[in-house]
Amino acid sequence: MSSLHKSRIADFQDVLKEPSIALEKLRELSFSGIPCEGGLRCLCWKILLNYLPLERASWTSVLAKQRELYAQFLREMIIQPGIAKANMGVSREDVTFEDHPLNPNPDSRWNTYFKDNEVLLQIDKDVRRLCPDISFFQRATEYPCLLILDPQNEFETLRKRVEQTTLKSQTVARNRSGVTNMSSPHKNSAPSSLNEYEVLPNGCEAHWEVVERILFIYAKLNPGIAYVQGMNEIVGPLYYTFATDPNSEWKEHAEADTFFCFTNLMAEIRDNFIKSLDDSQCGITYKMEKVYSTLKDKDVELYLKLQEQNIKPQFFAFRWLTLLLSQEFLLPDVIRIWDSLFADDNRFDFLLLVCCAMLMLIREQLMEGDFTVNMRLLQDYPITDVCRILQKAKELQDSK
């Protein structure tokens, strides 16, 4: 470890040990990348995403309260419905008079169960192929949810619901848009069949199952947006970061902590996932156009070249912006980019500048290429040095 890196770690530790965290100082340090040693990144992200307050003295009580709240969500949205499902239709009277699978009443327990299944199937399909370039999400977690996996429990878990349902997942797919593929060409090599995954023994669960639970509970608590394909790519890096925390005390609660950080992050970017808001000032169309207007201001020649070839931002920037670049780079690079995004107080304005920088850094190739070549470049971005991209984006920010 270099002396410079040791010095950076010491700088973070100095800020984080203060009774009241100096947010601006923390942002300034985090913008240039957060060291992973000692769980620094996990802690900084929780502060930057407004999960932990700035007053250190309140951390213990806040964490205890939020983690108990998440346990309550598990009991109310997974365990109790699972028990109810096991009991539904046990007696003839229940089936005939109280509730039954064909009951058209929207308040019917069966109706709710089937609607939840539709959402669950799409979540399950997406989380099973999360980050296929690494094996992490297929491996067993060290801290399976004991509330769910207690051998004394006989209720229906999410895993059993997926295995037992006869619904076809393709009939319930909710993609944000048909304009562009939500998956990057080099990131869609995951197994396509449930049988292609190693079956873990009873009492174990894979990391992807934890992510599935987080997304299912989020969908239940936010029925207006529920689950839209791509949310799995947002929660994945968060969960990976928290579940690999070197501090086992924090790692044990990665599921609950990820849920609340994901919820806070989605509060800022959820408009990207709501199609009816696309053309509003908070919608994704406006943001894509902002990337091009920034490019026009910084490099009009390149802007005109893309316009001449009729390369619209929808063809590539939709995925860049909606998924916070999580499909354009390998996971460690995505995490480094997110250090800077989370640290910037105008974090998603900075994301627009990052996208603009990505275009400018492949300027020569774009100026020489035809439509087909350029589309391939933009759909499978060639530069892997994310620090160079972030530096260019910072230069654009400073030149405003």
DSSP state of 372: H
Residue with tokens 């913008």: 31
Contact between 204 and 140 (Cβ < 8 Å): yes
The predicted-structure confidence for 199-246, as pLDDT tens digits, reads as follows 677 778 999 999 999 999 999 999 988 999 999 999 999 999 999 999
The predicted-structure confidence for 306-349, as pLDDT tens digits, reads as follows 999 999 999 999 999 999 999 999 999 999 999 999 998 888 88
Q: How far apart are CA 31 and CA 336, in angstroms?
A: 9
Could you tell me which residues come within 8 angstroms of residue 110 by beta carbon, excluding any fewer than 6 positions away?
88, 99, 100, 101, 102, 103
Domain spanning 275-399: CATH 1.10.3720.10 = no
User: Six-digit token pair at 264?
Assistant: 């806070």
Burial of 257 (0-12, 13-18, 19+ CB in 10 A): buried
The predicted-structure confidence for 64-103, as pLDDT tens digits, reads as follows 999 999 999 998 888 776 666 555 544 333 443 455 555 5
Hey, where are the domains in the chain?
38-82+104-162+201-271, 275-399
Count of residues making up the chain: 400
The predicted-structure confidence for 102-124, as pLDDT tens digits, reads as follows 555 555 565 677 778 889 999 99
Contact between 203 and 148 (Cβ < 8 Å): no
Looking at residue 232, its amino acid is N
Least Cα distance to 301 among 352, 232, 368 occurs for: 368
Contact between 110 and 100 (Cβ < 8 Å): yes
Contact between 318 and 179 (Cβ < 8 Å): yes
